[in-house]
Amino acid sequence: MKGLGRPARLLGAVALLAAVAWVVGPQRLRDSLVGTDPLWFLCALALGIVANMVSALRWAFIARALDLHAPNTALLAMYARGVTSNTLLPGATLSGDALRAFELSRLGNPKIESAVSVAFDRFSGLWVLCVMSCAAAALAWMSASDASMASDRLAPGNQNVLLAYGLMLVGIVVAPFMPWPVRWIRRLPGSLGPRLADLWQRLHDPASGLKRQLARSLIGSLVVQLLSALALAACARALGVQVPLVWLLAASAPIFVMAAVPIGVAGFGTRELAAVGVLGLLGVAADRAAATGLLVGLCGVLMGLMAAPLFVLRGRQS
């Protein structure tokens, strides 16, 4: 059954993309993509590359906070190879994350702590993304309460959808501050439970300074998410879509989160469906919304291809 995983995810991505094309109209989608402004698209690609570099440095900072051997140069290369794996292998970000954890452990680091560094790196980015989108959604909702803005951007029903979306984001934002069942974690099989519980207690021990160091990584996450949102905005502008940046910041969370769902390849299908649904609330035509998601995905593919030679050139890292 495991052997069916990759073909099933590939077929799933194709099926989702076909569904998107059927909903928006294949010809309309094609026409939108043909009219892409190459300069805006190159701008989006450049922003994506910088965002990935900052992401890699954030991961290195987190790994060192966990007392792991994590030189910046080595982790930049590992992160780039992870981007390639995310692009070429099914499983969205899980493929690249698994590779990053494995390669970090090959530097002589414990496997569990290596995996934890990747998990926290991913969580840090997603949490800050939700915080950013939550704040932007609040600003957008307050702006939409103005009659002229509401008639321009949102129908009354869509204002309620945006409010519900903002409340959902608030729930995600406060989730990390809820108490964790440390005793239950310790009961996990093998050495995994006790070591995770020890890491959690260390995180909350003021003497360790770990919480303070990890909190500093959130600055990098904010930079990454702003750059990613700007890349999304550049893809939209490449298609002639002009939406205020605050609205795109509010819309970025579901688009990027759905792209990370491990049911397709490189986020294709889920990202475009999310773009059609979310950007549609802002008055963006379905074909332009889907094309925006496709351009974001194409940026990811190109970044993965650019990083692919690092697999060939990979040598002994120190």
Of 12, 10, 19, 11, the closest CA to residue 276 belongs to 19
CB–CB of 120/202 below 8 Å?
no
The average confidence (pLDDT) of the chain is 79
Compute CA distances 98 → 6, 82, 199, 261, 313, whole Å.
Answer: 15, 8, 20, 15, 20
Q: Is 269 left (phi over 0), alpha (psi -120 to 50) or beta?
A: left
Residue holding tokens 């052997």?
A: 3
Q: What is the rounded CA–CA span in Å between residue 80 and residue 310?
A: 8
Comparing 27-31, 62-66, 290-294, which segment has the lowest mean pLDDT?
A: 27-31
- What pLDDT does residue 215 have? 80
Residue 3 has pLDDT above 50, yes or no: no
Say what the pTM is.
Answer: 0.79
CB atoms within 10 A of CB 148: 8
CA dist 88 and 69 (Å) reads 28
Residue 15's pLDDT band (boundaries 50, 70, 90)? low
Q: Which pLDDT score, from 0 to 100, does residue 205 have? A: 61
Q: What tens digit of pLDDT does each residue of 230-260 get?
A: 999 999 999 998 888 888 888 888 888 888 7
Q: Find where tokens 């950013």 sit.
A: 132
179 backbone dihedrals φ, ψ, rounded to 5°: -65, 140
